Chains A and B, each alone.
Chain A
Amino acid sequence: MSARNRQRARRRAGINRNLTDQLDHWYRAAELRDDWLWTALSTAPADRDRAERAITSLYARLGRPRPRFHWAASPRQAVDLLDEPPIRYGGPPDPGCPWHLAQQLADEVHALRRRLDDRIGSPGDAPWWVGRNPLVATRPPTEALDAGARLSDVLDVGVRDSLYRTVRDGVRAVVLSGLVAAVPEPPGLRWHGQHDAPWLAHYDVRRRLWPGRYHPADDRQLDLWAEVARSCGWWWPREGVCVVTERTTVAHTEPVPGAYHGERRSHNGHGPAAGYADGTGGHAWHGTAVPEWVVHGPTVERIARERNVEVRRCAIEHLGWDAYLAQARLRLLAEAPDPGNPGCRLQLYDLPRQVWGRPARVLLAVNGSVERDGRRRRYGLTVPAHLDDPVAAAGWSYGLTGDQYARLLRRT
């Protein structure tokens, strides 16, 4: 072996060792992420002793004695138990006023997170407009690492962003939208216990992969927040009193299609997607938070009255495009035999602008294979409004022209 080949072989071996190392770290991180995910989606009763101990320690950090604890079945019930108006973020309106306990606590967490961000060089809450490494965002983590992506980027997308999507923008948002619809004013400054998992996981995974990264005092404070997250639901700190809720008793999710990092979205077509023992909670349809009627009683009239187009879409999907188009008496623009699907027809409908908010058409097609009950399901696909021909619209859905699609031989 020539000197140059030896050097190459060494470099290759070095890269491989490094890669193996990174893959090991990633697998460990993915396990920890899933652990935090199940913490967030837990429906077990709260561990009240553990939660009270951890919250008492957080009060003690601010020089406060152990508060009285009021336990509520749900955030809805907790809001009723609060005996002062909601506390706003960012300090009192009058700079002369002393800060409320909740505001002091928020300040503490904020400072803690900034110190931890400095230690790991990656923010715990990068908004969507901060660019992600495209290599990491568009490939499975192991492939991205193999292709030379930085482990730190893979952790940001695979742990932090994944949990933000499932929990903060998912389950927590569903609970919040149900809560906001049920109470007269927004519930103010609060913490979310199990639903604070995303930011905690971001810092926790880093310290487990690389112990000793944070200042010991910060480690201890992080432990307290993690303890609360692992033992209860949402909570509202007040002077001398703390209102804490039980965990969710229902948390229905499904995997996000095509996602690489274990992202899940809230969905339940029969009841609350995130609910509590007292029957309150929030509804969701394939990841979109929706009002209760969308799940329990979608009708053409309610759909026409609904202002939010996403909610309208969910309600129509739940009702079924077939039923919706028939009941709403939408105008049939054109129909044609479905190539490759003998005996079935493709139908193109115009959707009124006020239904959709933008010009759109719907292609109603029939499945190529039968359901268990022997029938074939009909389904609607939205297509661009400039398409006039049902065959061209079906072709467009596969990136084909109408002439190309007309050559379809078989559909199953």
Chain B
Amino acid sequence: MTMTMTMTLAELTGRTGLTVLDHLEQQVRIPVVDGLQAQGDLIVIPLQVLDDVQPSPRARWRPVPPGGVELLRGAAGGNPHTLVAGPGDAEWTTDVADPQFLAVGVLRCARPAYLIHPEHGGSGIAPGTYLVRRQRERSTQWGGGDELVAD
């Protein structure tokens, strides 16, 4: 299974077995983007945009398996953001120190990889190295810090 630059949501879900809500447009090509892109409460940031984040030199890189990696699961236990890629196309590590404490992990891909979410559809990620971060908001409680957004 190789992921091409011209995949539709229907092809992507057909190949991975993941599902999205049926009202999402299935036949439009998913843009493969080499810059900053957001999928709900996750954001994919090209590493060169940030000057203070690098994966640890001793990071344990894991291949993105054919079934995908679940990066983050939604508040109600369902609706995960899943990262998928063809065999050998992408690898992934959580060994990264993020001064903002929002990192989910670092993705390194040689060919396009995709993020799929049942409600948000697909996001195509061009070859490169990216930091994946969660979203936060300011706590409304007295003395509270920041809280991660639960989508």
Contact = CB atoms under 8 A, between A and B. Distances in A.
Interface of A: 254-255, 257-258, 286, 309-310, 313, 340, 356-358, 360, 367-372, 374, 381-384, 397-400, 404-405, 407-412
B62 to A, nearest CB: 14
A398 B38 contact: yes
Nearest to B21: A372
A360 to B, nearest CB: 6
Nearest to A387: B138
Nearest to A398: B43
Contacts of A400: 43, 45, 49
Contacts of B139: 382
Tell me the dominant secondary structure on chain A's binding face: loop
B142 A369 contact: no
A398 B102 contact: yes
A410 B33 contact: yes
B37 A254 contact: no
A72 B21 CA distance: 45
B98 interface: yes
13 contacts: A310-B140, A368-B38, A370-B23, A374-B23, A381-B135, A382-B138, A384-B138, A397-B149, A398-B43, A398-B102, A398-B136, A404-B49, A412-B121
Contact of B138 (A257, A383, A409): A383
Interface of B: 21, 23-24, 31, 33, 35-40, 43, 45, 49-50, 73-77, 98, 100, 102, 117, 119-123, 133, 135-142, 148-150
B121 to A, nearest CB: 5
B135 A397 contact: yes
Given A257-B75, A369-B120, A404-B49, A360 B35 contact: no
A257 B121 CA distance: 21
Contacts of A381: 135, 137, 149
